[in-house]
Chains A and B, each alone.
Chain A
Amino acid sequence: MSGALKTAGHAPAPVSGHSGGQHLHLVVAGLLAVLTIGAFGAVWGGLLSGAALFPVLAFLAVAQITLQLLFYMRLRWDRRLFTMLFLGGVVLAVLIDLATKSMLVR
């Protein structure tokens, strides 16, 4: 899929890696829409409340983010290094937020 671009006589170095095709984008977008509606419905429709709500919302958010990272951002096919870097950022972000909330909010 990478050699398709017409180049001025060079070896092609186009958009790298696999990207899954147009079809995949539609499928992922559909899944994301379902998850968003789920989260929206849980709160707006009052389907869940209290203690059950937080883990469900967290799960839905993590699922959406994972889908986007793996398929839209192509981490599934790209260098492992990118995944490690980004996970490093995410882990640090979670650490900062949990620590700050537990230390500063009484």
Chain B
Amino acid sequence: MSHGADTAELASAPSGPFHEATAAENNKLGIWVWLASDCALFAALIATYLTLHNSVQHAPTAAQLFDLRLTATATFVLLLSSMSMGIGVEALQRNDVPGMRRWLWLTVALGAVFVGMQAFEFTTYWHHGLTLSASDFGASFYTLVGFHGLHVSFGVAWILSLLIFSYRRPITAADAWRFEAASLYWYFVDVVWVVIFTVVYLMGKVG
């Protein structure tokens, strides 16, 4: 009884040679799945922050602590790093390896500056009495923003490892996806920062 259905389907047998998925294609899809999954990770952190950010106890509040000029500067630093990353990958596509290195070094430097600014920000708040255990605003703030900072740090280490890679080996076309994967991750970290900047800092300032 299933005969008819089987034969009908045969009409759509594929024609032409089969293209096996390359490592590049698999890796790129893998990175996108990971980034999609990371959205849920940050969602849980933001949910925690939204639930607890009004629980300030006796510790300083967001409106008292946040310096928007500092954070806006950090935002620009990260924005610039995204741009330099993009231009670096662009240079690699033109087979301009020295150009790629220059822009990626700039990206690494900007990323490091961003992490440094965050470290400065955290220590400042800490000295003003916003410790991890002082209030749940502090705990959820440090966890959310710190998780993003860890993401940035990991990205810096990743791009650094690619730079080392580029000095020690000839880069072939088969390696290009490594750079593209890192760039996707780097842009994503910037996307998350836009959300954090808006939800935590801008809205935190107005309360």
Contacts and interface: CB of A to CB of B under 8 A. Distances in A.
A89 to B, nearest CB: 3
B89 A4 contact: no
Contacts of B39: 86, 89-90, 92-93
Contact of A40 (B43, B72, B177, B194): B72
Interface stretch (B104-112, B135-143, B197-205): B197-205
Contact of A93 (B24, B42, B54, B190): B42
A61 to B, nearest CB: 4
A29 B68 CA distance: 20
Prevailing SS type, chain A contact patch: helix
B198 A58 contact: yes
Interface string A20-51: 01100110110011001001101110000100
How many B residues are at the interface, by size bracket? 35 or more
Nearest to A84: B36
Interface stretch (B7-15, B91-99, B116-124, B150-158): B91-99
Given A13-B22, A39-B202, A89-B37, A6 B174 contact: no
Interface string A62-98: 0011001100110000010110011011101110110
Contacts, number: 162
Interface stretch (B27-35, B125-133, B159-167): B27-35
B86 A72 contact: yes
Which one of A12, A43, A65 has the highest number of Cβ atoms from chain B below 10 Å of its Cβ?
A43
B2 interface: no
B174 A43 contact: no
B172 interface: yes
Contact of A15 (B176, B191, B195): B176
Contacts of A16: 24-25, 28, 177, 180
B50 A105 contact: yes
A41 B79 CA distance: 17
B40 A89 contact: yes
A16 to B, nearest CB: 7
B184 interface: yes
A6 B89 CA distance: 15
A36 B44 contact: no
A69 B26 CA distance: 20
A74 B22 CA distance: 19
7 contacts: A6-B95, A10-B172, A10-B174, A19-B86, A40-B75, A61-B197, A96-B44
